[in-house]
Amino acid sequence: MREKIHKTIPPIYVISGGAGASGSQLVSTVLVQFPDSQAPVIIIPHVRQIEEIKDVLDKAVKTNGIIVHTLVDLKLRTNLNKLAKKQNVTAIDLMGPLIEQLTRVLDKEPIGQPGLYRQLHKEYFERVDSIEFSMNHDDGKTLGDLAKAEIVLVGVSRVGKTPLSMYLSVVGWKVANVPYIMGLPLPEELLAMDKSRIIGLTIEPERLLNHRKERGRRMGTTEISSYTDPEKIYEEVAEAKKVFKKNGFSIIDVTDKPIETSAQEVIELITNRFRKT
């Protein structure tokens, strides 16, 4: 039986005058129809100069790649199509035909301003960015760029870090949360941050015990361990508060508070603090 020869799949270069989200999304949507042939997608955003287009074309020639573009600038779009044809590079124009059709139908000339959609929907995209940031920085993940967070929540397990982070991100804040584990030092990345952005969450030990027992029931485990030992929980909460105070973190008690109330406390604390600075 003859073995299949595996060919190198050429890359797809997505050229855009904006962030490249529209083109990359469409390419990704189409690529899922070819599950065994996932081509690498390389996004070239914020293209403004013909020289940038020439650089991508040179790469496409060397790699036998194809180009997909969503350029709204007529000059750039026209030059790209001409140069691609001259160099025998496949270039798929996703924007040009639609713009030309709408120009005729609407009897108006397009503005031709790249990134305009994102500018008009700035608040929406900022909120999406905040949600993605918080998801990528949940429970101590991605500590390398922790300093980019506007708010960092620290607390013991089941204190409510994740739901509070998600709530704050939905209203537009870039939030990370880091677990406090009794007996272990806090991450260096956290200690190197501006302390005025770090908030320690605390809770009454009895309520924390109830949260952990409920989690255990949902997971089908009811055995008593240090995780649900009342004495250990008292010790854990007390030690966490000491560590927060020692490092200069603000502390918010979330015991029996609706998430909206805790979120409002966090927001007021941060906005008042940075309005002054």
Give the three-state DSSP class for 66. strand
Cα atoms in the Cβ-side hemisphere of radius 13 Å centred on 170: 9
Tell me which residue has tokens 């060919």: 7
Residue 256 tokens, joined? 């029996």
The mean predicted confidence, pLDDT, of the chain is 91
**The domain boundary residue, chosen from 120, 140, 171:** 120
What is the pLDDT, as a whole number, of residue 277? 41
Same-domain status, 242 and 270? yes
Residues 161 and 243 in one domain: yes
**For residue 3, is it within any domain?**
no
Helix intervals (H) in the chain: 21-31, 50-63, 74-86, 96-106, 116-120, 122-136, 161-170, 188-191, 205-219, 230-246, 259-276
- If one counts every other C-beta atom within 10 angstroms of the C-beta of residue 143, the result is 14
**73 assigned to some structural domain:** yes
- List pLDDT tens digits, range 176-201: 999 999 999 999 999 999 999 999 99
The answer to whether residue 26 sits within a structural domain is yes
pTM for the whole thing? Answer: 0.63
Which of 82, 101, 120 represents a domain boundary (last residue)? 120
Quickly state the pLDDT bin for 128 (edges 50, 70, 90).
confident
Verify that 53 and 72 share a domain, yes or no.
Answer: yes
Domain that holds residue 222: 122-276
Question: The CATH number of the domain where 36 resides is what?
Answer: 3.40.50
Residues 187 and 257 grouped into a single domain? yes
- pLDDT score of 223: 59
220 lies in a domain? yes
Q: Give yes or no for residue 2 having a pLDDT over 70.
A: no
The H-or-E segment that residue 177 falls in is strand 175-179
Q: Among 104, 120, 136, which residue terminates a domain?
A: 120
Residue 5 lies in a domain: no
Residue 239: pLDDT above 70?
yes
Let me know whether 17 and 74 are in one domain: yes
Domain count, the chain: 2
Asked if the structure places residue 4 within a domain, the reply is no
Is 63 strand, coil or helix?
Answer: helix
Is residue 189, in this structure, part of any structural domain at all? yes
Pair type for strands 250-253 and 12-15? unpaired
Q: Which of 233, 227, 254 is nearest to 161 (CA)?
A: 254
